[in-house]
Amino acid sequence: MPKNLKLIAAKIFESFRDDKSEVQHFDNSPLPDKTEVEKIIKEMFSLLFPGYFWNSGLSFETLELQMSNKVASVFECLTNQVCSEIKHSCKLDWRSCKNCKDYAESIVVSFLEKILEIRQALELDVKAAFKNDPAASCFDEIIFSYPGLEAVAIYRMANVLSQRGLVLLPRMMTEWAHFKTGIDIHPGARIGKSFFIDHGTGVVIGETTIIGDNVTIYQGVTIGALNFPRDSSGNIIRGAKRHPTIEDDVVIYAGATILGGNTIIGKGSVIGGNVWLTESVPPNSRVLIAKPELKITPKRLETLA
């Protein structure tokens, strides 16, 4: 190995030993594993959509046994990852980790108990997609190929874990969905029933967003913060309501940006494409940008030499 490479490696190593460096992790507190999180998501899809993301040759004679094995596998893998996050959190807060495994198991059991509820919510999401997208030929097409449904399914799982006080795992799950689909939904957002994201690329939904039932949004929509509340010392107040509330039966078209924790989009409203909105609108409103002035002229013919 060239001498200069050894020198580079030595300098990097010394930077790791610098007590002032906070962007490193070389203690004995574990962290969740990204590869395992991806595996858990895929296993969960086989429970949420059996027959789609599982062996297509399943029969009811063997399904119950295989389902039990699948649940047990998810329980074991997810418990290990939850335990890693809890132990890491305890290390940061200088707390004892004597009961971390038992606590992790209780979180995972409560998560698995929510599978039926998540499945019911996703069934309504699939039906909402079919109802609102004339290009959808059947439920199968939506389940297999719609990135919006995939992102929402992962969000709904991550949200359950987020409600139980976890931070790293839920965020790792939704960021994996973000990577795969281009849709960024924070696991802390609150999203109601029959939610449909059409096309999806570029959609951003912030942490304190509240979305009601029967809401449809299109690609490039941002539901974000207008500003970040700070305390008297100038530090960001984390967890403060800083993202909009979208009430029931709202449609938000492509490229719209809606910002602010006090912004409420009233029930039944339609937000047009490319709208920039930082104020509330009453129920049954239609918000549109004035039609731009278009200038259409004949294309000038070039003179041949």
Angle between helices 34-48 and 168-181 (to 10 degrees): 80
Domain that holds residue 141: 26-183
Query: Quick one: average pLDDT of 21-48?
Result: 84
Domain identity same for 177 and 263: no
Does residue 12 lie within any of the structural domains?
no
DSSP category for residue 49: S
Domain identity same for 61 and 199: no
Does residue 279 lie within any of the structural domains?
yes
Question: With the C-alpha atoms ordered 265, 124, 203, 234, is the resulting torsion angle positive or negative?
Answer: positive
pLDDT tens readout for residues 132-157 = 999 999 999 999 999 999 999 999 99
Domain identity same for 30 and 175: yes
Q: In this predicted structure, what is the pLDDT of residue 257?
A: 98
SS3 32: coil
Comparing 239-243, 276-280, 283-287, the range with the smallest average pLDDT is 239-243
Given 183, 200, 228, the domain boundary residue is 183
Does residue 294 lie within any of the structural domains?
no
Comparing 150-159, 165-174, 215-224, 284-293, the range with the smallest average pLDDT is 284-293
Domain identity same for 168 and 198: no
Name the nearest CA neighbour of 266 among 249, 278, 282: 282
Residue 51 CA from chain centroid, whole number: 24
pLDDT tens readout for residues 45-59 = 999 998 888 765 666
Name the nearest CA neighbour of 265 among 242, 241, 247: 247
Q: CATH code at 132? A: 1.10.3130.10
Domain identity same for 146 and 68: yes
Rounded-to-integer distance, Cα 173 and Cα 40, Å: 9
Q: In this predicted structure, what is the pLDDT of residue 231?
A: 80
Domain identity same for 115 and 32: yes
Burial of 114 per CB tally in 10 Å (0-12, 13-18, 19+):
middle
CA distances, 300 to each of 57, 194, 296, 303 (Å): 63, 51, 12, 9
pLDDT tens readout for residues 203-218 = 999 999 999 999 999 9
Domain identity same for 216 and 201: yes
Best mean pLDDT range from 23-27, 94-98, 235-239, 253-257: 253-257
Query: Quick one: average pLDDT of 233-261?
Result: 93
Comparing 141-145, 244-248, 300-304, the range with the smallest average pLDDT is 300-304
Does residue 299 lie within any of the structural domains?
no
Rounded-to-integer distance, Cα 244 and Cα 224, Å: 7
pLDDT at 303 exceeding the cut of 70: no
Q: In this predicted structure, what is the pLDDT of residue 67?
A: 85
Is 8 or 21 the better-scoring residue by pLDDT?
8
Domain identity same for 242 and 110: no
Domain identity same for 34 and 173: yes
DSSP string covering 217-277, please? E-TT-EEE-S---B-TTS-B-TT---S-EE-TT-EE-TT-EEE-TT-EE-TT-EE-TT-EE
Domain tally for the chain? 2
Does residue 16 lie within any of the structural domains?
no
Domain identity same for 40 and 161: yes
pLDDT at 185 exceeding the cut of 80: yes
Q: CATH code at 229? A: 2.160.10.10
Domain identity same for 142 and 88: yes
Q: For residue 189, what are the β-bridge partners? A: none
Does residue 149 lie within any of the structural domains?
yes
Does residue 3 lie within any of the structural domains?
no
DSSP string covering 186-214, please? -TT-EE-SS-EESS-TT-EE-TT-EE-SS
pLDDT at 304 exceeding the cut of 80: no
Instruction: Look up tokens 């038992």; give the residue.
Output: 102
Within 8 A by CB and 6+ apart from 190, the residues are 159, 209, 210, 211
Q: Can you read off the two tokens belonging to residue 118? A: 């998540």
Query: Does the model's pTM come out above 0.75?
Result: yes
Arithmetic mean of pLDDT over the chain: 90
Q: Determine what percent of the chain is predicted with pLDDT higher than 70.
A: 89
Domain identity same for 78 and 173: yes
